[in-house]
Amino acid sequence: MAADDGEGNHVVHDHKHGSSHHHFLVVSYGIQSHVNPGRVLTHRLVRLGGGVTNNNGSSILATLAVPVATHRRMFPSLAGGANETTTTDGVISYVPYSNGFDDGSTPKSPEEWDRSSRATSRSLSALLTRFAAGGRPVTCVVCTLMVPGVLDVVREHGIPLAVYWIQPATVLATYYHYFHGYGELIATAAAAMDPTYEVSLPGLGLGRCRPLRVRDLPSYLVDSHTDDAETTNKFLWELYEYMDQWRPRVLVNTSYELEAAALTEMERHLDIFPIGPVVRSSAVEDLPARIHLFKHDDVDKKRYMDWLGAHRDKTVVYVSFGSITKCTKLQMEEVVRGLRRCGRPYLLVVRKDGLEEEDDDCQHTGGRKLAGAFLAIDTVHLLPPDAVRS
């Protein structure tokens, strides 16, 4: 069943594995855009039980599981030590699981992804066994997207699964239709090589203004033949197949105020609950601050915030490729060329290792390229300045 956390946010209860005591294991993929919403949800689950620590008799326990490499970035003082198996922030627990790439590298080939899936299954299965032996059996597993192996684990242990869809409901619905009879239509639209090409999918559109266009579709559906796209789409196909067969609860990081049409459409097909947007609010003091998996340089942050503050309102173009993407030198040159042509000041943010080739040209006329450390300026804090408001 679903309950409300007091803020209009639905969360999941399941009574199959016990009475009023629950232990949620939230399994996150090891990147920042998964870990942060996963962490906020894990805290919300504990708050449902009225508890502020895991030792105060709260009827709800919650643990966030992340890959070993991610856990070491989050808690560097525990890396490799005896306490690396578990830690707590006073509200939720954190545990690492091995995905077979504990050095932080990413699987590339299908064989490596298969190996990662098997390693994840073994590690998560061992975690569930350990929790049960310690008197804290997991009663529900919640997984963010792209956690290979988790479906096998919940089947093996007979534990309910809730899917935490951290992307918009429109993406959930688009992929659903892609896997349920509209794949050829989407492929045909993508093949037109026209970003304005209209795509008509049941219940979807951007308000009353217009239907979806190719440029609105998930990039892995438009360019579906790259290795990354094929791997991602394979895992998502397995997830949708599981959701079709077992009808797990699907927690969607959105609200009816934002995506009424997409949510209404998906209610016809899946057991969904909107719980978002899952972001930290300053009005909720007991939610955790954002996790940063990459080092922040306060000197750089001040320098670039001062640079932004020196510009008039709505004049700076802000570009960031996130924590995953790596660009070739040629690709970065094209991005910079386009930014120069726009004739406006710009801030281009990349990871320190975000270039596949060495690029010493980190300062460009008319703009700034931040290559010292990924997101030395926290995007959440960067966007409010008037210089970059839309």
The whole-number pLDDT of residue 281 equals 52
In 270-377, alpha helices (H)? 298-309, 329-341
What letters, b where the CB count within 10 A reaches 16 and e where it falls short, cover 207-228? Answer: eeeeebbbebbbebbbebeeee
The whole-number pLDDT of residue 197 equals 92
The whole-number pLDDT of residue 146 equals 80
Spans of the chain, pLDDT less than 50: 1-19, 52-54, 56, 282-285, 359-366, 370-382, 384
From the options 3.90.226.10, 1.10.3720.10, 3.40.50.2000, 3.20.20.10, give the CATH code of 2-166: 3.40.50.2000
Q: Per this entry, what is the length of the chain?
A: 390
* Residue 277 preceded by cis peptide, ω within 30: yes
Structure tokens at 344: 């406006």
Burial group, residue 130, by CB count within 10 angstroms (0-12, 13-18, 19+): middle
Round to whole Å and give the CA distance between 254 and 158. Answer: 29
Task: Confirm if 45 and 60 have CB atoms less than 8 A apart.
Answer: yes
Burial group, residue 193, by CB count within 10 angstroms (0-12, 13-18, 19+): exposed
- CA 226 vs CA 145, 229, 237, 298, 381: distances in Å: 19, 5, 16, 37, 34
Task: Confirm if 24 and 45 have CB atoms less than 8 A apart.
Answer: yes
Round to whole Å and give the CA distance between 249 and 21. Answer: 19
Residues in CB range of 387: below 8 A, 6 or more apart: 308, 309, 311, 312, 313, 314, 315, 316
DSSP state of 279: -
CA nearest to 273, candidates 254, 291, 286: 254
The whole-number pLDDT of residue 388 equals 59
Task: Give the global pTM.
Answer: 0.80
Round to whole Å and give the CA distance between 369 and 335. Answer: 11
CATH 3.40.50.2000 in the chain, residue ranges: 2-166, 298-388
Round to whole Å and give the CA distance between 72 and 81. Answer: 10
The whole-number pLDDT of residue 169 equals 95
Q: Catalytic residue positions?
A: 34
Give the architecture-level CATH label for domain 298-388: 3-Layer(aba) Sandwich (3.40)
The whole-number pLDDT of residue 2 equals 46
Burial group, residue 294, by CB count within 10 angstroms (0-12, 13-18, 19+): middle
